[in-house]
Amino acid sequence: MMAVSIHAWVEALEQAAIEVGELALGFEGCAVISREVTAPKGVSGAYLPLFGGSGESLYIGWLASRESSQALARGLLGLTANEELPPDDIADAMGEVVNILAGGLKRRILSSVHPLALGLPIYSPVPIVPLHSVTHTCLFRGGGFESHIILVHAGVNPGVEARSR
């Protein structure tokens, strides 16, 4: 799967996130404002595995604070800013948001990585950090809120990948 550089994966993920923010969530002024090679802390969200290519493990995710998760869910569901959603509805909405994100990523990367299949989204109340992995985090701003778009490259030596960037 890594015939494509990790930089290309991250760039395609950022483009897909901006598209999701603007079109599916109805947010204005969507942008990726920073990148880090570290997992975010104090957030929850949905993850989705990608399958194909050489068998390496990649996961994408959309993680946010409680307040930002509410905003993402309200945007997806077309609700007003003062409507409060229960935790189960937020988890379902975050799963759907990451599913839409994965579709946008697949559309952008499929010509370079074939076959490529998407797994099912899972929700986690805490960031997932697999052993022997590197997490690429993009700080996303849209709709007046910040959240994290992540790409987890599992099964790698973190020191080797960080030096090869």
The rounded percent of the chain whose pLDDT value lies above 90 is: 70
Show the domains of the chain with their CATH numbers.
6-164 (3.40.1550.10)
Does residue 32 contact residue 149 with C-beta atoms inside 8 Å? yes
Assessment of whether the complete model's pTM goes beyond 0.75:
yes
Q: Helix or strand or coil: residue 125?
A: coil
Read off the pLDDT of residues 109-147 as tens digits, 9 standing for 90 and up. 988 887 888 999 999 998 888 878 899 999 999 989 999
* Token representation of residue 104: 């946008």
CA distance 141 to 145: 6
